[in-house]
Amino acid sequence: MTDTKKIGDVLCTELIEAANHDRNILAVTSDSRGSAALNPFVDAHPDQLVEIGIAEQNSVTVASGLAHSGKRPFVFAPAAFLTMRSIEQVKVDVAYSNSNVKLIGISGGNSYSVLGATHHSLQDLAITRAIPNLEIYMPADEHQAQGLMRYLATSPNPAYVRIGKVALPTLYPNVTQAFTKPGKANILSNYGQDVAIVAMGETLAIANEAAIQLNQLGIHAQVIDLVSLKPLDQATLNQVADQTHLIVTLEEHSLYGGLGSAVAEALAPRGDTKVHIIGFPDEPVIAGTQAEVFNYYGMDATSVTEKIKHWLR
Amino acid sequence: MDIQALQLKAAQMRLATWQMIYRAKTGHTGSDLSCADIVTALYNDVMQQTPATFTNPNRDRYVQSKGHAVEILYNVLADAGYFPQADLLTYSQFNSPYIGHPTNHINGIEMNTGSLGHGLGLSVGMALAAKLDQRDYRVFTLMGDGEQAEGSVWEAAMAAGNYHLDNLTAIIDHNRLQISGPTESVMNSEPLAEKYAAFGFDVQEIDGNDMNQIVTVLTAENNTNKPRLILADTIKGKGISFAENQASWHHRVPTADEYQQGIDELQTVIGGLSK
Ligand SMILES: Cc1ncc(C[n+]2csc(CCOP(=O)(O)OP(=O)(O)O)c2C)c(N)n1
């Protein structure tokens, strides 16, 4: 059995560690400390927690003020509220004013499943991607989350990090292979050059599983982990497009404006590469567990394998 | 409906909610139990609205701003005949419309809530429309006290006072708890009565688990030319001894033993009221 780890727990452990060395590190919460798995942080550094109450907009604005005056705030809230309710605060107070605020969107994508669309963040990548001066991450496993947090703890740049709720399988052997620097994608696995599957975060393991299934069918895929959606690793995408003319993207997001769009925008000027985007269609999301919903929309490994077989025909 | 019948119904609604959450293994247990009396009173005694008149433009309206307490709302609506009771067996199942927050795909539900801080503003719009159209329906909304931290609540409160929306009744389920603990220590919103009064509301304080007081205040005429705010002091988890006043029961699902004990407690209350 592969190891699995909840990314929220990893972020908390890393934040405690960073806060041990840096009294300016703060966790800013909006009645979200439990959902964000931050209780160990609260126990370890009670005076480095700023609780704002159920006020996500204010949590981002206050964090920006804290950052302006030398603090290093990490704002934790459900991704849906952080990137929708608070989006103007993100645009103006964080990105435009260049405040050193790290926005940690928890329970992202469809994680909240049957709680419904109020709680889903399936547009967050589209909207944050269009804001200049905001890095975007979705750590895919324990090691990448560790590397990312160590980078964020010292980086001066505004950033949005989206994580999910369920435990994720460990895909990388260590931190250095999982995360090098912003804008540096990883080739997670490489069976050959029939097709490249590009993913990030929670969908990376699914992409990897599909590549294994394809390999058994004699179709050779590589799996590209973008690591950061912004900055985007144009060089690696070009290299992949030089080798294969079919690229498939997989994301827990609307088909519009997310990872697939980013890849398609980056490669369209070449004119030689086909990009197929797999994600959530433009319709109200069906109710179900995350697994049921992925299955319904053809986003599980077997469905991805089937689609790729069809597109290669 | 007489008070004892309403009390009995509220107890039955608590029981149905407890069973539903245990069955589905998800739900906002403490939040539901806290406002069970208020929601029961609204649909069984206070509002001019029935399943048959739900699409009538003159109906009274209810917006549940604390949308997470959806299980109690579903049970009260099913009991009142808005949809078959059996539908609720699909609660939180694949492809069910009965998900963990209210949606207007369901008969009886006005607006989609679940993101806190929307209900009062939506109600201001509905109450203002009544004024513009010279209709005399009333609009009710139910908020949490933790929810009072959302700035949008106060933007809406200012508008309600500004437009003298005396057809609007906002209720705060004042159980003094939210997810992370006591509201007073998470983000103190007190003094709520004085704040709403300053925003132009007629403020009434009641025991929000006392059916007599609930019905009296919700059916009282409003001649103040102001929107009304009811600060309803409640007990989160009300009716289940070990869940009462416990923040941890916000969205806890009972274990098998807890479930049985809860059933026993609620059935004792129901037995007493059925006499
Ligand atoms: C905008 C928004 N932020 C956060 C949440 C998550 N959330 C759901 S219930 C809740 C606590 C609500 O507490 P309170 O308003 O006191 O209601 P209670 O359940 O105690 O009656 C929170 C933070 C949400 N649903 N919407």
| CA angle, A63 then A66 then A72, to 5° | 80
In the predicted structure, residue A298 carries a pLDDT above the cut 70: yes
Taking the Cβ of residue A92 and every Cβ of chain B, the question of whether any pair is shorter than 8 Å is answered with: no
Q: Two tokens at B153?
A: 């609540």
When pLDDT is averaged across residues B121-135 and rounded to a whole number, the result is 98
Q: pLDDT band at B275, cuts 50/70/90?
A: confident
Name the segment(s) of chain A with CATH classification 3.40.50.970: 4-169
Closest alpha carbon to B106 in B82, B81, B126, B89: B82
Of B99, B112, B180, Cβ closest to residue A287:
B99
- The pocket around ligand 1, CB under 6 angstroms, is made up of A 31, 54, 56, 81, 85; B 31, 34, 66, 68, 114-117, 144-147, 173, 175, 177-179, 183, 236, 250
Q: Name the minimum distance, in Å, from the CA of B236 to any CA of chain A.
A: 17
CA-CA distance, B47 to B41, in Å (whole number)?
8
**Structural domain count, chain B:** 1
**Whole-complex ipTM:** 0.97
A215-259 tens-digit pLDDT? 999 999 999 999 999 999 999 999 999 999 999 999 999 999 999
Question: A180-312 in CATH: which number?
Answer: 3.40.50.920
Taking the Cβ of residue A291 and every Cβ of chain B, the question of whether any pair is shorter than 8 Å is answered with: no
Q: Which residues of B touch A53 (CB under 8 A)?
A: 146, 149, 186-187, 189
Using the beta-carbon criterion (under 8 Å), do A115 and B187 form an inter-chain contact? Answer: no
> Separation of B234 CA from ligand 1 center, angstroms?
16
When pLDDT is averaged across residues B7-30 and rounded to a whole number, the result is 98
The total of other beta-carbon atoms located within 10 Å of residue A268's CB is: 10
Q: Two tokens at B245?
A: 């006043």
Q: Which residue has the tokens 């509301």?
A: B201
When pLDDT is averaged across residues A208-219 and rounded to a whole number, the result is 98
Name the segment(s) of chain A with CATH classification 3.40.50.920: 180-312
Using DSSP, state whether A309 is helix, strand or coil. Answer: helix
Half-sphere exposure of A225 (CA within 13 A, CB side): 27
When pLDDT is averaged across residues B25-35 and rounded to a whole number, the result is 98
Average pLDDT taken over every residue of chain A: 97
Q: What is the pLDDT of residue A1?
A: 55
First to last CA, chain B: 16
Q: In DSSP terms, which residues pair with A73 in a beta bridge?
A: A26
For chain A, give the longest Cα–Cα distance.
60
When pLDDT is averaged across residues A142-167 and rounded to a whole number, the result is 98
B111-122 tens-digit pLDDT? 999 999 999 999
Q: Which residues of B touch A54 (CB under 8 A)?
A: 116-117, 146-147, 149-150, 178, 187
Using DSSP, state whether A205 is helix, strand or coil. Answer: helix
DSSP for B97-163, please give it.
S--SS--TTSTT--S---STT-HHHHHHHHHHHHHHTT----EEEEEESGGGGSHHHHHHHHHHHHT
When pLDDT is averaged across residues A278-306 and rounded to a whole number, the result is 97
Nearest CA in chain B to A85: B115
The total of other beta-carbon atoms located within 10 Å of residue B181's CB is: 18
When pLDDT is averaged across residues A37-54 and rounded to a whole number, the result is 98
> In CATH, what number is assigned to the domain containing residue B117?
3.40.50.970
Q: Which residues of B touch A37 (CB under 8 A)?
A: none
In the predicted structure, residue A172 carries a pLDDT above the cut 70: yes
CA-CA distance, A44 to A52, in Å (whole number)?
19
Q: In DSSP terms, which residues pair with B177 in a beta bridge?
A: B182
Inter-residue contact A47 to A75 (CB < 8 Å): no
Q: Two tokens at A217?
A: 């069918």
Inter-residue contact A191 to A223 (CB < 8 Å): no
Closest alpha carbon to B130 in B48, B202, B66, B67: B48
Domain range for residue B16?
A: 3-274
Closest alpha carbon to B144 in B269, B32, B224, B256: B32
Q: What is the pLDDT of residue B74?
A: 98
When pLDDT is averaged across residues B180-201 and rounded to a whole number, the result is 98
Using DSSP, state whether B80 is helix, strand or coil. Answer: coil
Taking the Cβ of residue B115 and every Cβ of chain A, the question of whether any pair is shorter than 8 Å is answered with: yes
Query: A4-169: what fold?
Result: Rossmann fold (3.40.50)
Atom of ligand 1 lying closest to residue B147 CA: 15
The contacts of residue B24 (CB under 8 Å, 6+ apart) are B91, B92, B93
Most ligand 1 atoms within 8 A of CB, residue of A31, A76, A107, A112 to mutate: A31
CA-CA distance, B23 to A169, in Å (whole number)?
30
Element containing residue B77 per DSSP (H, E):
helix B70-79
DSSP class of residue A240 equals H
Number of residue pairs across A and B with CB atoms under 8 Å? 84
CA-CA distance, A8 to A105, in Å (whole number)?
10
The contacts of residue B261 (CB under 8 Å, 6+ apart) are B242
DSSP class of residue A174 equals S
pTM greater than 0.90 (yes/no):
yes
Q: Which residues of A touch B149 (CB under 8 A)?
A: 30-31, 52-55, 58
Closest alpha carbon to B111 in B120, B102, B99: B102
Closest alpha carbon to B245 in B175, B148, B146: B175
DSSP class of residue A286 equals P
Kindly report the backbone phi and psi dihedral angles of residue A149, in degrees, each rounded to the nearest multiple of 5, phi listed first: -65, -35
CA-CA distance, A144 to A171, in Å (whole number)?
9
Cite the beta strand spans of B187-262 per DSSP E: 202-207, 228-233
The contacts of residue A223 (CB under 8 Å, 6+ apart) are A187, A188, A189, A190, A196, A197, A199, A204, A207, A208, A211
When pLDDT is averaged across residues B195-202 and rounded to a whole number, the result is 98
Of A57, A118, A292, Cβ closest to residue B101:
A118
pLDDT above 90 covers a percentage of chain A that reads: 99
When pLDDT is averaged across residues A165-184 and rounded to a whole number, the result is 97
